[in-house]
Amino acid sequence: MKAQYFIYGVLVALFFLVLTGAIDHQGSSTSANLSFGRYQLSSWATSFGEKGGAVGAFVIDTVSGETRTVYSRTFGPPMESTVIKNDLKKPYSAIQ
């Protein structure tokens, strides 16, 4: 009788493992990466010491590998912030 419960437990565990392993992979790793979108946005920041720094953002084209800066600005004491580049509302093809 105890062996019967053990066998049922093993079957249930195997069934569970089969179900959790049945996920839809989209083929190769290249096609799976495309499901995240062609363009990825990333940001950066750095400090120039106690009184200033810089921030920015860039876009990566995941198909060609090209990277374009879309925004960068320096900051420091009040009234000394400078926007170096602001292409946030432009399409990717218009960003240089």
Asked whether residue 69 is domain-assigned, the answer is: yes
85, 74 in Cβ contact below 8 A? no
Asked whether residue 86 is domain-assigned, the answer is: yes
Asked whether residue 67 is domain-assigned, the answer is: yes
In whole angstroms, give the CA distance from residue 25 to residue 3: 37
Phi-psi region of 83 (alpha: psi -120 to 50; beta: other; left: phi over 0): beta
DSSP 92: G
Asked whether residue 42 is domain-assigned, the answer is: yes
Asked whether residue 50 is domain-assigned, the answer is: yes
pLDDT confidence band for 70 (50 / 70 / 90): confident
44, 72 in Cβ contact below 8 A? no
**pTM for the complete prediction?**
0.51
Count how many domains the chain has: 1
Domain that holds residue 52: 35-96
Asked whether residue 17 is domain-assigned, the answer is: no
* pLDDT tens digit sequence for 5-18: 888 888 888 887 77
